[in-house]
Amino acid sequence: MMKDIGSLFEKRKIALSRSQDKTSLVKQSLQGFLLERFGDNLKGLSFRVDYNAKDNSLAITTDSKIIANELSLQLHDLTEYLKKTKLNLSRILIR
């Protein structure tokens, strides 16, 4: 018996939409945390934020070891901030 391929595509489309919504929410929350915690001191520094919806993990990559260490020190506060915005991540990687 053949399944309706249209419903399969619809389910996949809904899953991708949810993933993109959560990705943008994670990025906005992280940006809010960084502005709240560090203010304008982060201007000119580069960050790459990758959210993996499958693993529910967040990877923050920066060029500076000093910034990575500062973020590592603020990791507990970051997780609390994300919990306030109802985002529970399984892990956060800072490189």
pLDDT of residue 1: 54
Residue 85 near residue 29, CB atoms below 8 Å? yes
pLDDT of residue 85: 86
Residue 23: pLDDT band (50, 70, 90) is: confident
Alpha helix segments (H runs only) across 1-95: 5-38, 65-73, 75-84
Q: Which fold has domain 5-94?
A: GMP Synthetase; Chain A, domain 3 (3.30.300)
Domain boundaries, the chain: 5-94
Q: What is the CA radius of gyration of the chain?
A: 17
Mean pLDDT in residue range 16-23: 73
Q: Which two tokens stand for residue 16?
A: 């991708």
Mean pLDDT in residue range 24-52: 85
Q: State how far the Cα of 32 lies from the Cα of 51, in Å rounded to an integer.
A: 16
pTM: 0.74
